[in-house]
Amino acid sequence: MHRIGRARFWTALLLLVVVAGLLAVHGRSAAAAEDPGEAGTAPPVAGANAPYLSAGLALIRPQAARFVDGADAGHAALYGSRQRFDAGDLDDGLQFHLAAGVSLPYRLRAQLELGMARALDWRGNTNYRSSGARQPSEATLDTRQFLLAGFRDFPGWEIATDRPVRPFLGAGLGITDYRLSGYVQRFPEPDDPQGSLRRGPGGEIPSTALPGGRGRNFTWMLTAGVAIAVGGRIHLDLSYRYTDAGEIRTDVGDIAIVRYRGDGTRREIPVRINETSADYRTHSLLAALRFEF
């Protein structure tokens, strides 16, 4: 998948903050019009109990992570030590977002949502002994997230007549379904080029292929953003999200250790290992259109 630069992510986040700030400074506050009674419980607002659909796209940035030894299933540990691991990053990518919800009294909203991200590339570096400073690894991650989310809209301001902007906060709980595939570690520059990690006769690089992994994790999400009325019952929701999706894991299974003998012949050694795991947490910027009915 095409990598979206980290600098671009933070630039987009800064731009979102700046836009919200400019709207706050130059917009005409609508808080007084919405809350003429000031203190006390907020009254129900127009549009309460109205269903809506939402569709959008999120730019996601996974946090840096380490694959380490996971739960012991009675087999060999791949790393065998807390000092051994595969550290790296999943590429920034895009997540497609669909939701169905309902507006409730007191500026509350509830929605069920689905987020899908495909072909996020893992790029890491392992640190096995005597295997050289550069031990690149790669894998591919696909995810689906199902969340039940709640939101609280707040009094805002108007950027034009009948064009209100309202900030909101939200949180969600659910599950993340993931699939990890194509996990390979390579050793192009071992400490001893003529040792057990020697290259093949055609320059083939010795490697270790790990089992893939599939699973489901408990997931929670926090979000903050602004909803901009763009016409009628259509709103543009711009928000930042932090999501903790637990761990992604390789399954218990055989690794394929590919090495080359001194005479150039290839050998493949299967070794059954326990699972390995890494945290999966993301920051994201979501832009979605919300259609009320």
CA dihedral 250, 181, 176, 119 (to 10 degrees): 150
Mean per-residue pLDDT of the chain = 88
* Residue 15 DSSP symbol: H
pLDDT of residue 10: 58
What beta strand segments (E) does the chain contain?
28-29, 51-62, 65-69, 86-90, 93-104, 108-126, 136-153, 157-160, 163-186, 207-209, 213-231, 234-249, 253-260, 266-273, 276-292
* Residue 14 DSSP symbol: H
Helix (H) or strand (E) holding 13: helix 6-26
pLDDT of residue 49: 81
Q: For the segment 61-103, what is each residue's pLDDT rounded down to a tens digit?
A: 999 999 999 999 999 999 999 999 999 999 999 999 999 999 9
Domain boundaries, the chain: 6-36+49-292
| pTM of the complete model | 0.83
Q: Kindly give the pairing relationship between strand 65-69 and strand 276-292.
A: antiparallel
pLDDT(12) > 70: no
d(CA 210, CA 188): 17
Q: For the segment 26-65, what is each residue's pLDDT rounded down to a tens digit?
A: 444 433 444 444 444 444 444 568 899 999 999 999 999 9
Place of tokens 């630039």: 11
pLDDT of residue 1: 39
Q: Express as a percent the part of the chain with pLDDT over 70.
A: 84
Going by C-alpha positions, the residue among 166, 151, 46 that lies closest to residue 108 is 151
- With residues binned 3-state (H G I as helix, E B as strand, rest as coil), the percentages for the chain, rounded to 5, are 10, 60, 30
Place of tokens 């000092």: 83
Structure tokens at 261: 């003998």
Place of tokens 């059954």: 272
Architecture of domain 6-36+49-292: Beta Barrel (2.40)
Mean pLDDT of 12-27: 48
- The phi and psi torsions of 137 (rounded to 5 degrees) equal -130, 160
